[in-house]
Amino acid sequence: MPWRFVQMYGRMPLCEFVVAYALSENNRCLRLLGAGPGELHAGGARQLMISAHELEACWELARGASGEAAYRVCADRLADVAQLLHPVVDEVVARHQLLRLAERSGKEKSRAALTCVETGLAARAQHRHIFQHAFDRLSNVFEADSSAWRELPLAAFEESAWLGGFERCYEGGRESGRRVAEGGGETAFVQWGRWARASFHHLDMIRAGLSPDNRARRWCLGRIVDGFDKLRALNAVRAALTSLALDAKDRIRVEALLEAGSDDCHRRALKLYPHAYGQSPRTFRDGIALDAVRLAYESENRWPRSA
């Protein structure tokens, strides 16, 4: 059904929906930063980091319409936010993963070694907060991003360019995941994580209109992204081992368990790959187009166009 028909009945076309969603996320981040007492702990940092990833995914949709230069400026700006926040968030995830590995370990010495590492990370995490000096930097990013969305000339954009963003990210994840399955190594795995995260946020954004197939795909992509986050956290633990006082034998035990945990993350992600990427990119795009029409009719949300 043409978008002109949707607009005639007052429903929000896809491009306006994406812009409104992005502005809403920017508003939420600015409110969170404005309400803080000058210090942001792991929970708030995680909210901001997720929003930064969501906004990156929105710019992937706008990439074909806004132009490569504008996309690159906005994407790089948001990537800096994620880089600033990841150390705080990853440490919390890493401690959680260590406790889980300790619970699953059948050997008392291994459990004791993992608990020792978790205690060391917990002590260090007390100093891993985002303080006031970074608040202005974060606020400036979200204000600039909001302005960039408001300045997009939506009337000049074709809906096909936005649908192309869904297809491009899906195809990128499909190809990267295939390379991982063929033994592509860590570089391909990291690249797959980037594309999978974008596709998950795309489907999550329009979840009210998703077909049963795409609802299932959203769930699979969410579990894949969780696996990438856990893997990054385990790698952070591995990097931190050199700065922790640990017996040589305990260090070997911990490294072996971290390696087993990393293998498990890879295995779970690959197990979900055929369920998340079973359709061809073109078939996926056609399904998203139908989901977008369904969303336009069923969603009554109206977000502000300013932040």
pLDDT digits 0-9 by tens, 60-88: 999 887 888 889 999 999 988 887 887 77
Q: Residue 307 domain-assigned?
A: no
In a domain, 305, yes or no: no
> Cβ–Cβ contacts within 10 Å for residue 152, how many?
18
pLDDT at position 132 is 57
The average pLDDT across 192-213 equals 94
Report the mean per-residue pLDDT for the chain.
81
Contact 81, 141 (CB under 8 A): yes
Q: Return the pLDDT at 279.
A: 94
pLDDT band at 5 (very low <50, low <70, confident <90, very high): very low
Cα distance from N-terminal residue to C-terminal residue, the chain: 32
For residue 138 the two structure tokens come to 């974060």
Q: Which residue has the higher pLDDT, 236 or 179?
A: 179
d(CA 94, CA 193): 18
Asked, for residue 93, whether it belongs to a domain, the answer is yes
Q: What is the pLDDT of residue 124?
A: 62
Q: How many domains in the chain?
A: 1
87 lies in a domain? yes
Range in 13-17, 29-33, 300-304 with the lowest mean pLDDT: 300-304
Q: What residue type is assigned to position 154 of the chain?
A: L
Average pLDDT over residues 247-261: 78
Quote the Cα angle for 233-237-241, to 5°. 170
Answer positive or negative: Cα dihedral of 191, 54, 279, 222.
positive
Assess contact for 204 and 218: CB atoms under 8 A.
Answer: yes
SS3 131: strand
- The three-state secondary structure class of 209 is helix
Give per-residue pLDDT as tens, 105-121: 667 777 777 777 777 66
The pTM of the full predicted model, rounded to 2 decimals, is 0.85
For residue 27, the enclosing domain spans 3-298
- What digits encode the pLDDT tens for the residues 121-161? 666 655 455 555 678 888 899 999 999 999 888 766 778 88
Q: Which residue has the tokens 């979200």?
A: 142
Averaged pLDDT for residues 163-186? 92
Q: Let me know if residue 173 belongs to a domain.
A: yes
Is residue 304 assigned to a domain? no
pLDDT of residue 131: 58
The domain that holds 161 is classified in CATH as: 1.40.20.10
Dihedral sign for Cα 185, 191, 194, 196, please. Answer: negative
